């Protein structure tokens, strides 16, 4: 079994600050994971990294510590297409969690329905070469067409330099497409660089595309408090206020430079969403629309 790439202490901040920023009532952490425990939920035999265990109970404690109400559990590559740990977390969280699964074409309609009943509302296509071996886009498109009929969406994770090559595939997906971590822009180029302008154009030209303004800790050159990433996230929030999501990305797998303080990540929110209305859309209205459609949306705090 691949050795853990980093100690639990490296992945997870043991004592995150209580955020100064009070998130609105009903706030949703729309990108997080649970890992293991590996003796109950073994990691994928074809994984490219081995995290330390990060169980549901710790995620729920963080949720409460940060003032959030709900979580969206995103299946990570280290568990591959075995979604059991994520589904176990959904079962424990009840109505306070939804999920995004990794599946392959062999999944049956009955298995998809069981995932839906557990709270899964999307599938994830990962293109990062350091995380997964390539999957034919035709295979992904077949899955997308099947899950679109269930009302699910597709979450995609790719590097900015792949955008040109991957854009036609993304535009062929017949449902909402949610792009992880702002499409991983090269922050050193600046937010007015053609690379990020191309991403903005992709969002402009595809009204079914959403984006997570998450993971400044992964993208920043300057490091905490990630000032250099603010222009990217702020631009997306202000240009596409109804199509943005935010998440902690707890437990922060594969972080090499530092262990993010989740409370500090929350304190960046008012810097990228500068009004209460934008904060409410980012943290409550948009994730509720996507993951809890038809459910009452808590009103913006005055
Ligand atoms: O957790 C994240 O969203 C980011 C990473 C890992 C994964 O998404 C994954 O393993 O599926 C990463 O950048 O290493």
pLDDT in tens, 134-189: 999 999 999 999 999 999 999 999 999 999 999 999 999 999 999 999 999 999 99
Q: Please give the share of the chain, as a percent, with pLDDT higher than 70.
A: 96
The 10s digit of each residue's pLDDT in 81-93 is 999 999 999 999 9
**Probe ligand 1: pick from 76, 81, 86, max atoms within 8 Å of CB?**
76
Other beta carbons less than 10 A from residue 243's beta carbon: 22
Supply the residue whose CA is at minimum distance from atom 7 of ligand 1.
76
Rounded Cα–Cα distance for residues 144 and 173 (Å): 6
Cis status of the peptide bond prior to 4, with omega within 30 of 0:
no
66 within 8 A of 266, measured Cβ to Cβ: yes
249 belongs to the catalytic site: yes
Residue 225: is the preceding peptide bond cis (ω within 30°)? Answer: yes
Reading the block at residue 262, the tokens are: 């989740």
Whether the ω angle into residue 251 lies within 30 degrees of 0, i.e. cis, is yes
Digit-coded pLDDT (tens) for 23-69: 999 999 999 999 999 999 999 999 999 998 999 999 999 999 999 99
Across the chain, mean pLDDT equals 95
Which atom in ligand 1 lies closest to the alpha carbon of residue 215?
Answer: 3
pLDDT of 199 above 90: yes
Set 249, 261, 267, 301: catalytic member? 249
User: From ligand 1's centre to the CA of 251, what distance in Å?
Assistant: 10
In sequence order, the β-bridge partners of residue 71 are 29, 97
Structure tokens at 164: 């040109």
ipTM above 0.95, yes or no: yes
Ligand 1 centre to CA of 253 (Å) is 6
Bridge partners (DSSP) of residue 210 are 178
- Answer for the pair 102, 87: CB distance below 8 angstroms, yes or no: no
Residues with Cβ within 8 Å of 280's Cβ and at least 6 positions away in sequence, in order, are: 24, 300, 301
Note the pTM of the prediction, 2 decimals: 0.96
Ligand 1 neighbours (beta carbon < 6 A): 33, 76-78, 126, 131, 157, 180, 218, 249, 253-254
Question: Given a cut of 90, is residue 14 above it in pLDDT?
Answer: no
Tens-place pLDDT, residues 229-280: 999 999 999 999 999 999 999 999 999 889 999 999 999 999 999 999 999 9
Amino acid 173: pLDDT: 98
Q: Can you tell me the distance from the alpha carbon of 121 to that of 98, in angstroms, rounded to the nearest whole number?
A: 7
């Amino acid at each position: 079994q691949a050795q853990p790439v980093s100690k639990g202490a490296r992945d997870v901040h043991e004592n995150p600050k209580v955020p100064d920023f009070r998130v609105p009532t009903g706030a949703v952490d729309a990108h997080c994971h649970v890992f293991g425990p590996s003796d109950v939920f073994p990691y994928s035999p074809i994984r490219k990294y081995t995290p330390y265990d990060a169980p549901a109970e710790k995620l729920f404690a963080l949720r409460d510590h940060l003032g959030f109400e709900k979580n969206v559990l995103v299946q990570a590559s280290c568990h591959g297409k075995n979604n059991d740990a994520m589904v176990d977390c959904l079962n424990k969280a009840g109505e306070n969690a939804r999920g995004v699964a990794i599946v392959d074409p062999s999944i049956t309609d009955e298995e998809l329905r069981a995932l839906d009943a557990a709270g899964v509302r999307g599938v994830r296509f990962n293109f990062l070469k350091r995380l997964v071996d390539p999957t034919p886009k035709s295979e992904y498109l077949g899955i997308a067409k099947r899950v679109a009929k269930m009302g699910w969406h597709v979450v995609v994770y790719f590097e900015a330099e792949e955008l040109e090559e991957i854009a036609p595939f993304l535009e062929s997906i017949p449902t909402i497409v949610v792009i992880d971590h702002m499409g991983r822009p090269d922050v050193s180029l600046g937010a007015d660089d053609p690379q990020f302008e191309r991403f903005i154009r992709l969002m402009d030209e595809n009204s079914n595309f959403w984006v997570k303004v998450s993971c400044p800790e992964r993208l920043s050159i300057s490091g905490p408090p990630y000032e250099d990433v603010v222009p990217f996230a702020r631009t997306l929030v202000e240009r596409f206020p109804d199509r943005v999501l935010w998440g902690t990305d707890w437990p922060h797998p594969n972080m090499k430079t530092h262990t993010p303080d989740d409370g500090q990540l929350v304190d960046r929110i008012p810097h990228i969403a500068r009004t209460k209305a934008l904060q409410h859309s980012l943290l409550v209205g948009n994730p509720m629309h996507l993951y809890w459609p038809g459910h009452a949306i808590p009103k913006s705090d005055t």
